[in-house]
Amino acid sequence: MRRNRAEIQVFSISFLDVLSCALGAVLILLIVVPMSPPSPEAKLKVIQKLKAIITSITTENKSLEQQISALEEEQSKTIPQPTKKPVPSLFGLPLKADHAIFLVDVSPSMLWQIDNLYETVSSLLNSCEVKQYRFIYFDAIVYNSGRYWRHGWLKGTPENKNKSLRDTKLHLSELIPNEPGGTNSGDALYEAIKFRETDVIYFITDGHPTVGETRVESILRRVRRINNNNIIINSIMVGLPGTTINQWGGVIFDPAANPKELYDFLHSLAEENNGVYVGR
């Protein structure tokens, strides 16, 4: 809270004039009167003059007291500052955008955690305060139109979000178990950045790039070069890199996987593009 401050000016010009008159009257009494004995009429005039001065000073003093009282009362009032509306967030991610793209990895490694992936996407979309949004799915191929997204930009209404999530559940069940496999992170990011309206990207993946450009340094360098609109890129890692399921439904880990390299990639991607990295 900030106090409303006002400068209190106690002495006005008129008050100084009154003091000058009073000083003049005193000088008359001290200097003029002793040099020539005053007549009764002169004494009466001086007394009347002094009474008038006293009355004027008293009136001026009351006026000043009223002004001071009013200013003090004004100072005592506090002006409430507008409360900033908190930015919605989830998992530590800021969830507010004008035009958001949800970039969703649908490579086969997501199969054993498809429910976790769906819940992550659902939580992000439902919590996001977004004006318009769109989805892009990717594995070896980038799916940003046709049967997997035929809407263009959708307004961020509850009805549209519910419809999109129903479609998402269907698309995940169709795309993840089927060929082609692989994770084409680079082309997916480049495609999302092409949409000039975009101000925020939510990049959701579980694995290292394995198709297209696979060198993360090259992907990061190209993203920096083409991200001329300063799009915020948030990276969300689902599950543990290199994990999948075997034919009996058991979770197995690929010894060739390099989780640290993926962590570093997603951290750098978010950090270099003013975003946040989150692991799910």
Mean pLDDT of the chain: 81
Whether the pLDDT of residue 20 is over 70: the answer is no
CA angle in degrees (0–180, nearest 5) for 95-138-109: 100
- pLDDT score, position 3: 46
259-272 and 216-226 are packed helices; what angle lies between their axes, rounded to 10 degrees?
10
Task: State mean pLDDT over 90-96.
Answer: 75
Residue 99 has pLDDT above 80, yes or no: yes
CB 116 within 8 A of CB 149: no
Could you give the count of Cα atoms lying within 13 Å of 209 in the half-sphere of its Cβ? 22
**CATH classification (class only), 89-279:** alpha beta
Give the chain's end-to-end CA distance (angstroms, integer).
Answer: 39
Query: What is the 3-class SS of the chain, one letter each residue?
Result: CEECCCCCCCCCHHHHHHHHHHHHHHHHHHHHHHHCCCCHHHHHHHHHHHHHHHHHHHHHHHHHHHHHHHHHHHHHCEECCCCCCCCCEECCEECEEEEEEEEEECCHHHHHHHHHHHHHHHHHHHHCEEEEEEEEEECCCEECCHHHCCCCCEECCHHHHHHHHHHHHHHHHHHCCCCCCCCCHHHHHHHHHHCCCCCEEEEEECCCCCCCCCCHHHHHHHHHHHCCCCCEEEEEECCCCCEEECCCCCEEECCCCCHHHHHHHHHHHHHHCCCCEEEC
Quick: pLDDT tens for 146-172: 888 988 899 999 999 999 999 999 999
Contact 214, 174 (CB under 8 A): no
Q: What b-and-e string marks burial along 122-139, b requiring 16 or more CB atoms within 10 Å of the CB?
A: bebbeebebebbbbbbbb
**Is the pLDDT assigned to residue 119 strictly greater than 80?**
yes
What's the half-sphere exposure (Cβ side, CA atoms, 13 Å) at 249? 0
List the single range of 14-18, 179-183, 259-263, 271-275 with lowest mean pLDDT: 14-18
Q: What is the pLDDT of residues 194-249, one digit of tens each?
A: 999 999 999 999 888 989 999 999 999 999 999 999 999 999 998 776 666 666 76
